Chain A
Amino acid sequence: MTARISSQRYAVEGFQEALDLCYSRGWTDGLPVVPPTEPAVRAMLDAVGLEPDAQVAFITNRQVAISAEKVAINAVMAGCRPEYMPVVVAAIEGIADPRWGYHGPATSTGSAAVLTIVNGPIARRLDFNSGDNLFAPGWRANATVGRAVRLVMRNVVGTIPGRLDRGTFGHPGRYTYVMAENEAESPWTPLHVERIGCRPTDSAVTVMAALAPIQFYNQLSSTAAGVLGTLCDTMRYPGQIGQPNYCVVLAGEHMRTIAADGWSKADIRKFIFENTTNTVAHFKRTARMPGAVKPEDETATRPLVQSPDDILVVAAGGRAGSFSCFIPGWASRTSSEAVTVVIKERSA
């Protein structure tokens, strides 16, 4: 591939000067970055078979075209291996999708990060973690793919705190928020097959605007209803009442308990939907909804989500530990919904 790289170049004496330059220009997420040299950037482009000026995505709300060259530069900075580029590209295609609605999750005071769920053979081949310490440091793929997407958001789309990123808190998922589904041990249909009907042998990435995970503990139940009852009791009081997507991550012990009861992901979603309603009166009393409580509010109910299908159920997390978690989405599913994108693996 000999097409021209068009980005501005900066001459530096050595690694430290390169690092200091990236920091002083505000190009990092606060952590050191890998200096993006032309050979490293070309290796990224070769791995995904894209010309530098190929458009990966267009963010309409920002009038920004994201080129393969800029994705590659930020992926180098994030510390990605070239083999990760197809995953990074697919994730960016996902957040540029009108259904994801870039402006809301990226700019809002509501502080969403990009929860990125990897499915298919690529997850195992590239060693994306799906087990112990699911959201914790230690796996290069999980750490750098999410970071690359975030650096593109910052450096290319201008999603910068105080300007076009007004998250009141943000959360650590804005460094990286990448997981793989534990398809090897899961008894259930993988997320990508469920959502877009692709084959299990396809690889895909699902991006969801997401808040931080909230875990719950149930060591005592030997039934699906028992485990999920605790989940619903923890999950039912939302931080916001807009009815966003939710992601429920079921780890080893709970996964095996629920599966032993013969429950499918659809059964899980139905149970959660039916057991997380609240009354309008409760929402008004707790200032989540405006207005005085009327008698009819005591029996008027509002579900947590608009439909059971808005709940993404994923098998992942450690084999040991009586914990699973749920991850609230951002605002409402009408404003931003999870998007699943097939990963295109191609080479030059």
Chain B
Amino acid sequence: MAGFEILDPTVEPRRQPLTYVPRPDSLKGKRIGLVENTKFNSDKLLQRIGIILKTEYGAAEARMWRKHNSSVPAHQEIIDDAKQTVDVVVAGIGD
């Protein structure tokens, strides 16, 4: 076979710049959303984080949502509920 061309089998991800919303100045009085990914101890770790954010950083409350399963993003009803009821979200964690 003399010189020839081969084609690239890959796809490069596109840049999709995100405009980030303004951050609060502090967590005092803020409502924390915790989204746990169903993996073992994710809920327990996030719950402890929620308590610390309330007792030491002045957050008003912390509420937790459990994802339907770890393989998908949080379902729309969780996202819609969080938009209405919390000011910031902490999401994670385990395997």
Q: Do chains A and B touch in the complex (CB under 8 A)?
A: yes
Give residues 24-61 of B contacting A (CB, 8 Å): 40
Docked pose: A77 CA to B9 CA in angstroms: 9
- Which listed residue (B11, B14, B40) contacts A156, Cβ 8 A? B11
A104-B70, A332-B69 known; A8+B2 contact, CB < 8 A: no
Q: Are A61 and B73 in contact (CB under 8 A)?
A: yes
Q: Are B72 and A61 in contact (CB under 8 A)?
A: yes
Docked pose: A103 CA to B69 CA in angstroms: 11
1/0 contact string of A40-80 vs chain B (CB within 8 Å): 01000000000000000000010111100010011001000
* Residue A7 lies at the interface, judged by CB distance under 8 Å to chain B: yes
How many A-B contacts at CB < 8 Å in the complex?
A: 94
Binds B, one of A12-20, A179-187, A267-275: A12-20
- Which listed residue (B9, B70, B73) contacts A155, Cβ 8 A? B9
* Residue A348 lies at the interface, judged by CB distance under 8 Å to chain B: no
A109-B95, A290-B40 known; A8+B73 contact, CB < 8 A: no
* Residue A176 lies at the interface, judged by CB distance under 8 Å to chain B: no
* Residue B71 lies at the interface, judged by CB distance under 8 Å to chain A: yes
Q: Are B6 and A13 in contact (CB under 8 A)?
A: no
* Residue A158 lies at the interface, judged by CB distance under 8 Å to chain B: yes
Q: Which residue of chain A has its CB nearest to the CB of B6?
A: A35
* Residue A240 lies at the interface, judged by CB distance under 8 Å to chain B: no
A61-B73, A332-B69, A335-B69 known; A10+B8 contact, CB < 8 A: yes
Number of contacting residues on A, CB 8 A? 45
Q: Are A9 and B73 in contact (CB under 8 A)?
A: no
1/0 contact string of B2-27 vs chain A (CB within 8 Å): 11111111110110100000000000
Q: Are A36 and B71 in contact (CB under 8 A)?
A: no
Q: Which residue of chain B has its CB nearest to the CB of A17?
A: B3
- Nearest CB in chain B: distance from A328 CB, A: 17
Docked pose: A290 CA to B5 CA in angstroms: 57
- Nearest CB in chain A: distance from B47 CB, A: 16
Q: Are A334 and B68 in contact (CB under 8 A)?
A: yes
* Residue A280 lies at the interface, judged by CB distance under 8 Å to chain B: no
Docked pose: A192 CA to B27 CA in angstroms: 55
Q: Are B71 and A7 in contact (CB under 8 A)?
A: no
Identify 18 residue pairs between A and B in the complex whose beta-carbon atoms are under 8 Å apart, listed by A's number.
A7-B7, A10-B5, A10-B8, A12-B3, A12-B6, A14-B3, A36-B7, A38-B7, A61-B71, A63-B13, A63-B16, A64-B11, A103-B71, A104-B69, A108-B71, A156-B10, A335-B70, A335-B72
